[in-house]
């Protein structure tokens, strides 16, 4: 394939391939290698330790396996490393810099669950991912060429036109979905890959090939790879460079994979010959409580042995050098650093250098003190100049990295910008316009099978004919008024319910995909939201329009203008109802709650619509103001009875006006149902409904339903 290098690494048959960019393309994705260090990671949920003091280091080119029994905290650790869970304590660093939002696009996180739009094919899924996540500097052809290549090297060619599928519609197999999941993430040429159970659901052959691919990916591309695995075969086990064994959320072993057998032997747990070491160590950490404690104690003891990575020894510095140092402050003063007025605590360090502790809002800049081996940095996380309230830590740093650094002390996942290493990954991969265009197209393509399914067509046509037959050729006389109103009210309420519940039911499955993509920083929420409105609009209005085209002429068309105006209000009402459904879907995580709220709202809307109850008690009239159907229904009457053929009075007539006239004016017909508003005001209110609920939906997604 032109433009694709031959230093391939992914196995396909007997050959090995690289799903990577050509050198020219690679220039557009300048990810430098990342070293991952996590120290003393502790997470508690509902006062229960899920992870406690877990530490590890993975260098570029290395493959770290996280193993342990089910429920020991593997996924939680991966979530922490991806910055998706707030730590109770501990630090995660990438290239010695604290994990922050800027790294999101350098990290690829392949989730345990394969979350996709079920109706898109594998190829469409990858194409959209490439269009959204590869930078605008690559042309469309280059992006598609890369998709072809990824499909080829992951051996997905034969199933590229198969839908992803779900439990209702069978699509890709489990293994194919898993590879598709990895393919989507590999598109961005990530520097750090986190994969949660990538081999689950694969047969041993497929699992071996996948793991060897990842191993070669790490080695050849200098990538950092972390995987969680349950029970690897011995072949797979020996592919790992490093192993982190977890037991009850604590480190049972961290180090080279080829030293783990010795570690267990040293505490009297000797692996039998020809036994899979992975099975052996997992059996030990699933053993009795005494056995677990013995292993955990041995692991704690190993932290002070010489071969324990010195990058992880923060507690040594904390307890000795930094403690002594912090107690040695001798004066405070104010100064200006990095353009911010800061309180600076300045003191000579233990080795004769100066240390400056500086605090400005949430950002901190410190100069380090030099310890005999490394640099000890003290970080004050409070606004108080009192050293007793400072939280401090010590970390070995390279000298060039110590000039200044910025600390995000709120959350690992929140924003923090370093002046150094500023690259494209801080920005969105594509501009708003590209995101909007691609997402509109994808929304249309994804929603079409769902919204315009054969069943929906049958239902619409059947209902249109039924309504047309029921109200067939209605005469323009007083006794027919109620029937004409019946058709209008039925049409508006039916399409309100259809659109509202359609939006409600489609949202939960869509939300998972959107959350996954938002977490990886693929696009702006605003681009998605706008694209959703635009992309789905033709689909939302198609079926009500078909219904109208069938049923209204059967009633008897009196003017083209009336035909189109009635259609316009029917569609406007449908779009408003969809907005409300979308808003409720965004608010409620629980489907049953959202269905209940929707049922109450839509039924109340019907009751107060003006057709079913005409004598609404005065203290309840405000409810009518909240009924969206009410406004559309009123407008349809205004149009039908003022622009259409006049309605003849009956003899005798219940309208007083018929004493002096043969026709009933629209105002009299509307007055039968209580007070009414002019056409323009009803229309304006419908547009206000539309805008308010769309904006509220966005606000909820933006601020209250942010993916963690």
For position 198 contacting ligand ATP by CB under 6 A, the verdict is: no
- To ligand ATP, the closest distance from the beta carbon of 226 in angstroms equals 13
Residue number, 72 or 225, with CB nearest to ligand ATP: 72
Minimum distance, C-beta of residue 91 to ligand ATP, in the bound complex (Å): 20
For ligand ATP, give the closer residue by CB, 412 or 694. 412
72 CB-near residues (< 8 Å, 6+ apart): 246, 247, 248, 249, 285
The least CB distance from residue 147 to ligand ATP, in Å, is 31
The residue (of 124 and 519) whose beta carbon lies closer to ligand ATP is 519
Q: Which residue number, 228 or 425, has a Cβ lying nearer to ligand ATP?
A: 228
Provide the minimum distance between the beta carbon of 206 and ligand ATP in the complex, in angstroms, as a whole number. 19
Q: Cβ 243 to ligand ATP, closest distance in Å?
A: 15
Using the contact rule CB under 6 A, the part of the chain among 73-81, 414-422, 561-569, 590-598 near ligand ATP is 73-81
Minimum distance of ligand ATP from residue 188's CB (angstroms): 25
Angstrom CA distances, 178 to 156, 207, 357, 524, 546, stand at 11, 11, 48, 26, 41
In terms of CB distance, is 75 or 456 closer to ligand ATP? Answer: 75
Residue 47 contacts ligand ATP per CB under 6 A: no
For ligand ATP, which is the closer residue by CB, 246 or 376? 246
**76 versus 213: smaller Cβ distance to ligand ATP:** 76
Per the rule left: phi > 0, alpha: psi between -120 and 50, beta: everything else, 227 is beta
- Whichever of 79 and 635 has its CB closer to ligand ATP, that residue is 79
Among 6, 15, 70, 167, the residue binding ligand ATP under the rule CB under 6 A is 70
Pick between residue 63 and residue 72 the one whose CB is nearest to ligand ATP. 72
| Residue nearer to ligand ATP on the CB measure, 245 or 533 | 245
Which is nearer to ligand ATP, 113 or 137 (by Cβ)? 113
75 lies in the site for ligand ATP, by CB under 6 A: yes
Q: Provide, rounded to whole angstroms, the least separation between the CB of residue 72 and ligand ATP.
A: 4
Orientation of helix 481-519 relative to helix 628-643, angle to 10°: 140
The candidate with the shortest Cα–Cα distance to 398, out of 303, 311, 304, is 311
Choose between 252 and 566: whose C-beta lies nearer to ligand ATP.
252
Residues 6+ apart with CB under 8 A from 77: 41, 51, 54, 66, 228, 244, 246
DSSP structural state of residue 368 = -
Long-range contacts of residues 605-614, Cβ cutoff 8 Å, at least 24 apart = 605/493, 605/496, 605/629, 605/630, 606/493, 609/489, 609/492, 609/493, 609/633, 610/489, 610/634, 610/673, 610/674, 611/485, 611/486, 611/489, 611/673, 612/489, 614/672, 614/673, 614/674
Tokens representing 248? 């009850």
**215-221: long-range pairs with CB below 8 Å, 24+:** 215/63, 215/239, 216/9, 216/10, 216/16, 217/9, 217/10, 217/193, 218/60, 218/61, 218/62, 218/63, 219/9, 219/61, 220/7, 220/9, 220/18, 221/9, 221/18, 221/20
50 binds ligand ATP (CB under 6 A): yes
CB of 136 to ligand ATP, least distance (A): 37
Residue 314 CB, nearest approach to ligand ATP (Å): 24
Q: How is residue 544 written in tokens?
A: 């009500």
3-state secondary structure of 417: coil
From 18, 34, 64, 72, residue interacting with ligand ATP (rule: CB under 6 A): 72
For the bound state, the minimum distance from the C-beta of residue 78 to ligand ATP, rounded and expressed in Å, comes to 8
Instruction: Indicate the residue among 50 and 566 with the shorter CB distance to ligand ATP.
Output: 50
Q: Does 515 bind ligand ATP (CB under 6 A)?
A: no
- Contacting range for ligand ATP; rule: CB under 6 A; set: 65-73, 284-292, 306-314, 435-443: 65-73
- Smallest gap from residue 582 Cβ to ligand ATP (A): 27
DSSP 351: T
Residue closer to ligand ATP, measured from CB, 137 or 200: 200
Write the CB contacts of 346 (distance below 8 Å, at least 6 apart in sequence): 330, 331, 332, 333, 354, 355, 356, 357
| Residue 629 buriedness (CB in 10 A; 0-12 / 13-18 / 19+) | buried
- Look up residue 172 and give its DSSP letter: S
CA distance 349 to 668: 91
* Beta-strand relationship, 242-247 and 63-67: parallel
Contact of 67 with 246, CB cutoff 8 Å = yes
Tell me, by CB under 6 A, how many residues bind ligand ATP. 11
User: If binding is defined by CB under 6 A, does position 74 make contact with ligand ATP?
Assistant: yes
Distance in Å, CB of 74 to ligand ATP, minimum: 4
- Stretch near ligand ATP under the rule CB under 6 A, chosen from 66-74, 169-177, 333-341, 529-537: 66-74
- Residue 228 φ/ψ, nearest 5 degrees: -100, 140
Instruction: Give ∠ CA 130-224-33 in degrees, rounded to 5.
Output: 80
45 binds ligand ATP (CB under 6 A): yes
Peptide bond into 437 cis (omega under 30): no
Site string for ligand ATP, 76-105 (x = CB under 6 A): x-----------------------------
**327 secondary structure, DSSP code:** T
Q: How far is the CB of 259 from ligand ATP (least distance, A)?
A: 23
Report the DSSP beta bridge partners of residue 45.
48
Mask for 5-44, x = binds ligand ATP (CB under 6 A): ----------------------------------------
Q: Which stretch in 45-53, 397-405, 481-489, 615-623 sits in contact with ligand ATP by CB under 6 A?
A: 45-53
H-type helices in 134-230, by residue range?
Answer: 140-153, 174-186, 204-221
Retrieve residue 674's tokens: 């209580």
For residues 649 and 661, give the distance between their C-alpha atoms in angstroms, rounded to a whole number.
8
Binding to ligand ATP by residue 553, rule CB under 6 A? no
Q: How far is the CB of 194 from ligand ATP (least distance, A)?
A: 12
Nearest alpha carbon to residue 536 among 564, 568, 499, 508: 499
Report the nearest approach of ligand ATP to the CB of residue 50 (Å). 4
Give me the least distance between CB of 615 and ligand ATP, in Å please: 52
Q: Which stretch binds ligand ATP (CB under 6 A): 68-76, 209-217, 258-266, 609-617?
A: 68-76
Does residue 226 belong to the site contacting ligand ATP (CB under 6 A)?
Answer: no
Looking at residue 244, the DSSP 8-state letter turns out to be: E
Of 69-77, 93-101, 427-435, 580-588, which segment contacts ligand ATP by CB under 6 A?
69-77
Of 1, 7, 32, 71, the one binding ligand ATP by CB under 6 A: 71
Binding site for ligand ATP (CB under 6 A): 45-46, 50, 68, 70-76
């Amino acid at each position: 394939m032109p433009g694709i290098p031959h230093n391939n690494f992914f196995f396909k048959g007997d050959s090995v391939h690289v799903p990577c960019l050509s050198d020219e393309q690679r220039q557009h994705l300048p990810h430098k290698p990342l070293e991952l260090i996590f120290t003393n990671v502790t997470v508690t949920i509902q006062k229960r330790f899920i992870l406690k003091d877990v530490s590890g280091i993975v260098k570029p080119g290395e493959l770290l396996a996280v193993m342990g029994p089910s429920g020991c905290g593997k996924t939680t650790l991966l979530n922490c490393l991806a910055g998706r869970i707030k730590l109770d304590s501990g630090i995660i660093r990438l290239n010695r810099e604290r994990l922050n939002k800027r790294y999101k696009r350098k990290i690829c996180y392949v989730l345990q669950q394969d979350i996709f739009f079920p109706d898109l094919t594998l190829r469409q899924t990858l194409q959209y991912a490439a269009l959204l996540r590869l930078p605008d500097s690559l042309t469309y052809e280059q992006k598609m060429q890369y998709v072809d290549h990824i499909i080829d090297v992951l051996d997905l060619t034969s199933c590229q036109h198969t839908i992803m599928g779900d439990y209702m519609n069978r699509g890709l197999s489990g293994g194919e979905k898993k590879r598709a999941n990895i393919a989507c993430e590999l598109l961005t040429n990530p520097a750090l890959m986190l994969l949660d159970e990538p081999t689950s659901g694969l047969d041993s052959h497929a699992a071996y090939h996948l793991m060897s691919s990842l191993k070669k990916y790490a080695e050849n591309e200098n990538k950092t790879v972390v995987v969680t695995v349950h029970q690897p075969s011995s072949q797979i086990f020996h592919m790992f460079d490093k192993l982190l064994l977890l037991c009850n959320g604590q480190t049972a072993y961290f180090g080279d994979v080829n030293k783990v057998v010795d570690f267990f032997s040293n505490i009297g747990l000797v692996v039998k010959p020809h036994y899979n070491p992975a099975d052996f160590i997992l059996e030990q950490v699933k053993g009795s409580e005494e056995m677990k404690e013995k292993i955990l104690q041995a692991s704690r003891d190993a932290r002070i042995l010489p071969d324990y990575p010195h990058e992880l020894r923060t507690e040594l510095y904390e307890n000795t050098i930094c403690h002594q140092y912090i107690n040695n402050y001798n004066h405070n003063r104010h100064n200006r650093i990095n353009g911010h007025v800061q309180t600076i605590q300045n003191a000579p360090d233990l080795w004769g250098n100066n240390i400056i502790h500086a605090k400005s809002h949430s950002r901190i800049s410190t100069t380090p003190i030099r310890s005999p081996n490394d640099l000890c940095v003290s970080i004050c996380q409070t606004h108080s100049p009192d050293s007793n309230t400072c939280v401090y830590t010590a970390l070995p740093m390279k000298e060039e990295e110590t000039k200044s650094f910025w600390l995000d002390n709120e959350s690992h996942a929140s924003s923090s910008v370093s002046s150094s290493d500023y690259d494209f990954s801080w920005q969105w991969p594509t501009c708003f316009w590209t995101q909007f265009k691609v997402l509109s197209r994808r929304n249309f393509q994804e929603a079409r099978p769902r919204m315009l399914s054969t069943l929906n067509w049958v239902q619409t046509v059947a209902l249109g004919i039924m309504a047309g037959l029921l109200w067939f050729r209605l005469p323009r006389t007083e006794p027919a008024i109620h029937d004409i109103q019946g058709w209008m009210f039925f049409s508006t309420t039916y399409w309100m319910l259809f659109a509202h519940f359609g939006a409600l039911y489609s949202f939960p499955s869509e939300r998972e995909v959107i959350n996954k993509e938002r977490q990886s920083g693929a696009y702006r929420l605003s681009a998605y939201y706008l694209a959703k409105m635009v992309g789905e609009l033709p689909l939302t209005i198609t079926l009500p329009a078909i219904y109208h085209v069938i049923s209204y002429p059967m009633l008897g068309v009196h003017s083209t203008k009336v035909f189109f105006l009635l259609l316009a209000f029917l569609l406007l009402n449908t779009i408003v109802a969809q907005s409300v459904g979308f808003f409720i879907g965004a608010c409620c995580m629980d489907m049953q709650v959202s269905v209940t709220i929707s049922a109450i709202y839509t039924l109340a809307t019907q009751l107060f619509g003006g057709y079913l109850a005409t004598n609404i008690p005065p203290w309840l009239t405000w409810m009518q103001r909240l009924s969206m159907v009410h406004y559309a229904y009123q407008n349809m009457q205004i149009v039908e009875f003022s622009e259409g053929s006049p309605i003849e009075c009956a003899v005798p007539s219940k309208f007083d006006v018929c004493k002096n006239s043969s026709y009933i004016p629209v105002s009299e017909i509307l007055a039968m149902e209580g007070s009414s508003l002019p056409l323009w005001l009803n229309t304006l209110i419908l547009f206000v409904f539309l805008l308010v609920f769309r904006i509220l939906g966005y606000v909820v997604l933006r601020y209250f339903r942010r993916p963690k």
